[in-house]
Each structure stands twice: as structure tokens, then as C-alpha cells.
Structure 1
Amino acid sequence: MVPVLLSLPLLLGPAVLQETGPYSLIFLYTGLSRPSKGIPRFQATAFLNDQAFFHYDSNSRKAEPVGPWSQVEGMEDWEKESQLQRAREEIFLVTLKDIMDYYKDSAGSHIFQGMFGCELLNNRSNGAFWRYAYDGQDFIEFNKEIPAWIPLVPAAENTKLKWEAEKVYTQRAKAYLEEECPTMLKRYLNYSRSHLDRKDPPTVTITSRAAPGRNRTFKCLAYDFYPQGISLHWNRAGKMLASKSGGVFPNGNGTYLSWVEVEVPPQDKDPYFCHIEHSGLSQSLSVQWDDTKKAKAESNPATQSQ
């Protein structure tokens, strides 16, 4: 995929950004050797920070903006982007076939994935990467400091030799990560900063469940928050408790949700508080479950509690 991906003309104008960030532009490619019925053989999704902003697949053969970017005019020439993704699809699937040929497994079911992108902090390049995986295992990655493609398994030696047969491909890879990708990201941010910079505070609910003769479980659920960074924990008598966390997950609407649980002995009548910290809150929030089975919020009135 290197020749097509890196021969993009630099058609991006200057951009002026405030001292903010970090912001990232990341592309994720997935190719399948034997896709199930209705599943595309190839898919490409581009992300601004953690938000998907356009998608392409081998069924539709179109690159199309998604989410709030579907309402933005002038951000990208989507017909040209579709043509580019079709070319990338062809090269990407050829590489997948080359790997399968190396393993002499042309009839098997395999997955090839690529991820590459860059980051800006305070309007300056803050990092970049480019790597591939085969069947879930690291395969090859680009080191822009050398610059060179670094095989991570023996099979990738053949891929390295093919991609580095012409030195210009390696030079283009370095230029893409250090120049073209950051410039693209700056351009996209002209249309996207207000969305990416938003801070949506969490809505918080607490539920309780218990079986006869067993500990009661309090569950604190925070949802509809953005960005995804959040701190959730249970407190009792001013002390943080060991608890079970559910991690942070996409909520399906561009926001996130998370939860944390704690077990309470049946005889324990002390108040328990769910403590929440998030950039969308003007200050931390504590929500208590009391004996009347109503969650009571303390501190920030902007967050709803039930």
C-alpha cells in the first residue's frame, strides 16, 4: 500500500490554531481474505482524536463523512477521497495475498490491519506512527528516524524488501508522517475544533441490587460524557474503596460511559459515595446512595443524578 498511500499530492493550505491539543489524525485499515456474506473485504476509517469522521469500504466503494462531519461543507473532496481509497484498497489486498503466499495458505481465513497517523500539540508535530498486524500479531512498522521498515516477524522480511526496493517509498513514508499528515490534521481542525474541544459532563445514576443473605452491590454509572477521560471510585468514611471498574466505552452517540461497583455487607449502614472527576465538571462530584434508595448529588448541579 506504500506507493499509493504516499504519492498523495500535498493539496493542503495553511492553518492557524490556538495553543491547544493534543489532536490526532489516525487511519485504520482492515482487509479480510475470506469475508462473511455482507461483510466488506476491505474497510478504512479515519479518526480525528477518538471520533470517526469518514468511512470507506469495498462494498460501497465510497468515502463518506460520518457523525457531525456529514453536515460539514468543504472539509474534503469526497469523490477524490473515494478514488484514493479504491487505490489503497487494491494495494492493501495485494499485500495481504503476498503474506498468505509466504505462509502457503491461500485458502485460509486471515486478517491484515494497518494503522498510521500523527499528533499535534500546541500546533506542532508531537508524534507519528505507522504499523501493520497480521492475524492479530504485530507484523511490520515504520521507523521514521532511520528511516526504514522494521520487520517484527520473519514473514515481514519479504514485505520490507518489496517496499524498500525503491528508496523513494521510504522517503515518502517519512515525508508523510512528518509533513503531510500534520498538515492534513491542521486543515481538518479548521472544521473540527469546536466539536473535538467540547466538554460534556457526565450524567450519573446509582443502582443497588442484593440477593437474600448476600452482600449488596452498589453500581455507579456515568454516561453521555466527553472527552473520554474520567475518574470514578467509591468512598466510605472519606477513604477510597477497592471496587470493580467497567472501563470506559463508546456510548454510540459520540460520547462515553463508564461504571464502578462496590460490595457492601448487609449490616453496613454507613453512607457510600461515588466520586466523579471529569473535565466537563466545574468541580468534582460525589453522589450518595442512602437508605431511602435515592441518589443524592453533592457539589456540581450541572450533572443530573437519579
Structure 2
Amino acid sequence: MIPVLLSLPLLLGPAVLQETGDYSLVFLYTGLSRPSKGTPRFQATAFLNDHAFFHYNSNSGKAEPAEPVGPWRQVEGMEEWEKESQLQRAREEIFLVTLRDIMDYYNDTEGSHTFQGMFGCKISNNKSSGAFWRYAYDGQDFIEFNKEIPAWIPLDPAAANTKQKWEAERVYTQRAKAYLEEECPAMLRRYLNYSSSYLDRKAPPTVTLTSRVAPGGNRIFRCLAYDFYPPRISLYWNRASKMLASESERGVFPSGNGTYLSWVEVEVPRQDGDPYFCHIEHSGLSQSLLVQWEETRKAKAESHGVARPQ
């Protein structure tokens, strides 16, 4: 059985935003040495692009669709849940053994410790475009797989023992390479047969402008875009046709309903009466959208621009 553990999202950086034609299959695992009451000792989640499509946890011992009612429940053939449950139970055992090995190395007997990992692959324009397999211990990089060598690369002193253990039998390294280069892309393509129409959908943003008074009497204009998909969006304020450096750009966040939201703020001098526009670009829009802030505190689409999405 290949050691199936993965790497932290926070160690990988912000999630890669997907556009049509770019797809990813990612597995995220988390193991806890001393979980609090009711918290599973081991959890696994699989993602198609940024959408969780199944969860597994050690309390239930079952792999189930991520959403009780949602696209994965309605798609026949997405996954054989009992077969997946058996696979995750086997991975859970290996994962927690590795966590105990690391704790023994450091003699970490006090408190709770966390082992996390992520592995997966990507397809762009129907061609494999990358794969990764990494782990972290207590929030720090631990070990990762380099499929070009191929070999496990220690990123922590304790990982040298893990590398030796995993590479003692050559099949572990061969299987990891085969999984990333062949099995994972094949699995992703199979899932896309059932889900690409859902992943490729486009929903334009709805935009709302608000204002508040800042300390000192200046005003803060906020431009909020929400209910859009896919998550990639360009959002900024401009004045006199010039892009402004925003005081606050919050990134892109899930709305909880399969869409995303984002906002951007700018501080405006108290006496400034010039018109301010929020500029929005998104693949769900036929062209850029300009929404003007008015003194009446009502936002309207610029008359010679495009219509605001309804």
C-alpha cells in the first residue's frame, strides 16, 4: 500500500483559481494525535477544482458526497462510495502510523499534534499540466515527492527516517510516480465525464456599492461583487479613468452556495466630489462593467458602459 498523505493548503499558498479548460483533482488529509471530543482523528476531503465532492472521517468510516443535496448526489457514476470508503480506511491507517513515527522521533508526547498532506494533479487544455504530493507536521513542511528523480525529499530532520522507510521497498517510489503521472490524470478525466458541465458554468457577478465614514472624516467606498463563478475576477476602483491603489482588497471567498464573493475598498477625501467607478472584469460578463458611486448613495451602471447584471 502506497503511503497516501498530502500537503497543507497554507503551505501551498492561495488556491489556484480555475477557468474553463483548467481542472484539478486534489486530496487533502488531516490527522490528529489527540483530537477533541467529537472531532475525528483522521479526515479526508477530495476536491474537483475548488469544489469538495467527497468527505471521509474516522468516526463514520465512510466516504460520502460532500453535499447532502447537490451536484454530486445528482450525478450517476461519480464514485463507488463503498469502494472509496475501503480505500480511505487503508490510507487512514498508514497516515496515523506516520504521525506516530514523527512524534516518537521528537519525543512529542505532550499536547496534540497534526499531520497533514495534499496530493493531486492538474489538466489544462486536455493535457496533464502538473502534479504534487507533500506533507506537513504541526504546520511546517515535512516531506515532498519529486517525480522527476523520482524520490521523497525530506524537508524536516525527522523526514529522513520517513524517506528511508518509504523507499526501503522500491515499489513505493514507483507507485507514487505512476499515480501522479498516470492514475490521477485518468481519474480526473473520468470524473470530468460527469461533472465538466457543472465546473464550466459561468455566473456573472452582482455588484453593490456602499460607503462609510472613516476616522478623520474621509469616506470609505466599498465595491462588493458576489454570486459569481468561476472565482477569477478583476475588481478595482478608478477615478478620472485612472486605476486607484485600493486601501483594502480582500481576495476571493466562497459564498457557501457554489459561488464566490470579493470586495475592494478605497478611501476618498472628504471634499472630493469627482465621480468614482468600480471596475469589474469577469468571464461571466460580455464586457467590462463600470458601476458609479453617486452622492445619493445609489449605484448605477455607467450609461455608455455595459448594463449591470440582473
- Tell me the TM-score normalized by structure 1: 0.91
In structure 2, C-alpha distance between the alignment counterparts of 1:246 and 1:213, rounded to whole Å = 23
Q: Distance in 2 between matches of 1:220 and 1:93?
A: 46
* Residue of structure 2 in register with 1:80 after alignment: 83
Indicate conservation of the 8 Å contact 1:250/1:256, yes or no: yes
Q: Where does the alignment leave 5 or more consecutive residues of structure 1 unmatched? A: 6-19
The alignment status of 1:21 with 2:21, answered yes or no, reads yes
Q: What pairs up with 1:99-118 in 2 under 5 angstroms?
A: 99-118=102-121
Matches within 5 A, 1:97-176: 97-176=100-179
Which range moves more in the overlay, 207-216 or 83-92?
207-216
Q: Aligned to 2:253, what secondary structure does the other structure show?
A: strand
- Please give the alpha-carbon distance, in whole angstroms, between the structure 2 residues aligned to 1:193 and 1:218: 38
Q: How many Å separate the matches in 2 of 1:220 and 1:245?
A: 10
The one-letter code sitting in structure 2 at the alignment partner of 1:33 is S
Displacement of 1:124 in angstroms is 1.6
Residue 273 (structure 1) aligns with: 277
Q: Is the 8 A contact 1:220 1:261 kept in 2?
A: yes
Displacement of 1:213 after TM fit?
5.2
Residues in 2 aligned to 1:293 and 1:152: alpha-carbon distance in whole angstroms = 54
* Preserved contact between residue 301 and residue 308 of structure 2 (Cα < 8 Å): no
Aligned to 1:185: 188
Task: Give secondary structure in 1 for the equivalent of 2:189.
Answer: helix
| Distance apart, 1:36 and its partner CA | 1.4
Instruction: After TM superposition, give the deviation of residue 254 of structure 1 in Å.
Output: 1.4
Match of 1:240 in 2: 243
Number of residues paired by the alignment?
290
Counterpart residue identity of residue 54, structure 1: F
Partners of 1:137 and 1:198 in 2: CA distance: 36
* Conservation of the 8 A alpha-carbon contact between 1:287 and 1:296: yes
The CA distance in 2 between the partners of 1:168 and 1:247, in whole Å, is: 42
Q: Which is worse superposed, 132-141 or 295-304?
A: 295-304
In structure 1, what is the equivalent of residue 255 of structure 2?
Answer: 251
Alpha-carbon shift at residue 66 of structure 1 (Å): 2.2
Deviation at 1:212, TM superposition (A): 8.1
Length-normalised TM-score, structure 2: 0.90
Aligned to 1:289: 293
Deviations 1:168-216 (A, max 9, x none): 1100000000000000000000011001101111111000111685101
* Aligned equivalent of 1:303: 309
Which deviates the most, 208-217 or 218-227? 208-217
Which amino acid in 2 is paired with 1:251? S
**Structure 2 vs 1, CA of residues 247 and 51 (structure 1 numbering), >3 Å: closer, same or farther?**
same
Paired position in structure 1 for 2:47: 47
SS in 1 for 2:168: coil
RMSD: 1.5
Identity percentage of aligned residues? 81
Pick closer, same or farther for the CA change 1:245–1:212 going to 2, 3 Å. Answer: closer
Q: Secondary structure at the match of 1:60?
A: coil
- Runs of 4 or more consecutive aligned structure 1 residues displaced over 6 Å after TM superposition: none
How many angstroms apart in 2 are the aligned matches of 1:24 and 1:213?
A: 47
User: Which residue is 1:56 aligned to?
Assistant: 56
Q: Cα deviation per residue 1:253-303 (whole Å; 9 max; x = unaligned)?
A: 111111000111111111100000011111000111111111011333352
